[in-house]
Chain A
Amino acid sequence: MSEDSSWRERLGLLLDYLDATDFSKIARRYFALNFFDGVLTMMGFTLGYYMVGGRDPHAVFGAGIAASVAMGLSGLVGALMTEMAERERDLHELEKSLFKDLGNSVIAKSQRIAAILIAIIDAAAPALGALMLAIPLAYPLVDLLGYDYAIATSVAIGLAALFALGSYLGSGSRRSMLKYGVAMLLAGISLAIITALMGVVL
């Protein structure tokens, strides 16, 4: 057996194990939850800043980017620690059942890879969601769009992203894509109303 095919076989085995460890299900759940968090947080921040009278494009863009990075970093560290700890515990349980050390086995390697991949997804999802909304906020800085239009574009992208995420979840659960999409959209609209009210109160 050649070295090349041996590597391919090992990789295939790792992927099979990843599949068996609920990796795809957990990754999908993490992505949806954190993408939603990222979009909604950024939308709340942008609208809140605008409603209380904030008109500085540098401030809103800079803070938006900083929030994206912070959410990404928080997701990476939080998910990595949690997943590593949980998967280590599972591995110890299995070792007890097998009366065997699994430290160098394919199972241990696939569990470590799963934890790292999930942490990357957990970091990328909220950062991506927030960044999508932060990018239009840079347009006034390069005179591509007026400040008010940039805010409106950012919010519109946020609402569209929420609808797309809802539809994706609906399609995955084989239920109505429209119903899930509208439910997510309503969450975004509720947030807009709350921040508008904040603008009046504060």
Chain B
Amino acid sequence: MKVAVVRVVFDVLKPRELDSTDLARSLCELDGVNLVNIVVREVDVRTETIRLIVEGADVDIDDVLDKLDEMGCAVRSIDSVTAKRQEEQ
């Protein structure tokens, strides 16, 4: 039996220079990720608060956190995690 994380919702603070599309594309290229959704919730002079939803067959939260760190984003919280048990064939 294997349990995989299939959906994670992050509350993230990102620099305004970083385009949401670039961020979504970069995260979508991670192994195990199939879908990325970004919703801008608050806009400041230098930063934007976004709600980031990452979905996939097997999302590695550490990989996502590393990628966000590399891109200069600050993760404020992980608001929701969905895991799924994958039955052996």
Residues of A within 8 A of B (CB): 1, 5, 9, 13, 16-17, 20-21, 93-94, 97-100, 102, 104-108
Contact = CB atoms under 8 A, between A and B. Distances in A.
A57 B85 CA distance: 85
Contacts of A1: 29-31
Contacts of A106: 70-72
A90 to B, nearest CB: 9
Contacts of B26: 9, 13
A162 B71 CA distance: 42
Contacts, number: 54
B70 A94 contact: no
Given A13-B22, A97-B46, A98-B47, A107 B74 contact: no
Interface of B: 13, 15, 17-19, 22, 26, 29-31, 44-47, 69-74
A21 B17 contact: yes
Contact of B74 (A5, A13, A21, A99): A99
Given A100-B13, A106-B70, 14 more contacts: A1-B30, A13-B71, A21-B17, A93-B46, A94-B47, A97-B47, A98-B47, A100-B72, A100-B74, A104-B70, A105-B72, A106-B71, A107-B15, A107-B17
Given A100-B74, A105-B70, A94 B15 contact: yes
A60 to B, nearest CB: 48
A123 B7 CA distance: 51
B19 A16 contact: yes
